[in-house]
């Protein structure tokens, strides 16, 4: 049973599944190309994810067997921009959600579609999935985060190969490079991603958020990294949830998290 969210629009569907928010790009006729309406709806859904204590993780996917073919060029020519000021493409490439987000990829994740996938923390893909940043083939640059972030997710040589040739890679190569966490049979990416999100959602929300924050922020820290690490970690270690986790373990029961 799913509960439809108030932010649902026809081109972006948003559901709740036991603490997991599912966001579906719903333009299969256009290979889930991203227009301004899609961008604003995804941003609103992500804002809901971070604001709602009952939501612990998110899954982003595309309808119709395709993740996303990127920016809607027809909408672009009409003057639409699928980026939000200060937030980036779909409101997530510059300011990703505080809570974990998993991309469930079937088919193509190209250009802007690939870049919003990069804004996700984990990726589950069908075996037939393909990933690419083809902008250089049109004398463009992957400006939505591809050129900036890809080398942080895969070896530099592979990032350069993808960016300079514009050629896609398959799911097996993406997994071997560390871009994809799990490869499953075609058609199974969404279920596998929701299962993974459910395992995350079962953990202490303060610990999950702090762990993600340390991983994302620490590469820019200097000699004071342990002090900055402590600023994030110590409040979690002293929280009610930390005491509840230890108590539940001792009592051999499931913990009840309160987020404080």
Q: Phi first, then psi: what are they for 58, rounded to 5°?
A: -125, 155
Sheet holding 12-17, edge to edge: 3-4, 12-17, 20-25, 57-62, 101-105, 122-126, 182-184
Nearest-angstrom CA–CA distance, 35 and 211: 33
251 is annotated as an active-site residue: no
Nearest-angstrom CA–CA distance, 118 and 150: 7
Q: Which of 135, 161, 240, 244 is catalytic?
A: 135
Q: Which of 115, 175, 217, 227 is catalytic?
A: 115
Strand bridging mode 3-4 / 12-17: antiparallel
135 is annotated as an active-site residue: yes
CB 135 within 8 A of CB 166: yes
Helix, strand and coil content of the chain, in percent to the nearest 5, comes to 45, 20, 35
E strand or H helix at 217: helix 205-217
**Active site (catalytic) residues:** 115, 135
């Amino acid at each position: 049973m799913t509960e439809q969210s108030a932010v649902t629009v026809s081109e972006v569907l948003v559901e709740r599944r036991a603490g997991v928010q599912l966001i579906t790009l719903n333009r299969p006729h256009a290979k889930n190309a991203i227009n301004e309406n899609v961008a604003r709806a995804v941003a609103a859904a992500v804002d809901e994810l971070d604001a709602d204590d009952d939501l612990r993780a998110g899954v982003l996917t595309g309808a119709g067997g395709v993740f996303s073919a990127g920016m809607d060029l027809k909408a672009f020519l009409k003057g639409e921009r699928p980026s939000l000021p200060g937030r980036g493409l779909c409101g997530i490439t510059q300011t990703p959600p505080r809570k974990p987000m998993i991309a469930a990829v079937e088919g193509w994740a190209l250009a802007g579609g690939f870049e919003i996938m990069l804004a996700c923390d984990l990726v589950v893909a069908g075996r037939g999935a393909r990933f690419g940043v083809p902008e250089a083939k049109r004398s463009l640059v992957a400006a939505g985060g591809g050129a900036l972030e890809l080398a942080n997710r895969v070896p530099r040589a592979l990032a350069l190969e993808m960016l300079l040739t514009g050629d896609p890679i398959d799911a097996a190569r993406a997994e071997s490079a560390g871009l994809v966490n799990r490869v499953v049979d075609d058609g199974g990416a969404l279920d596998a991603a929701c299962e993974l999100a459910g395992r995350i959602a079962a953990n202490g929300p303060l610990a999950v958020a702090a762990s993600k924050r340390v991983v994302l922020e620490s590469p820019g820290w200097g000699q004071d990294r342990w002090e900055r690490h402590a600023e994030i970690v110590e409040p979690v270690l002293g929280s009610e949830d930390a005491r509840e986790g230890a108590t539940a373990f001792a009592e051999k029961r499931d913990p009840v998290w309160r987020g404080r």
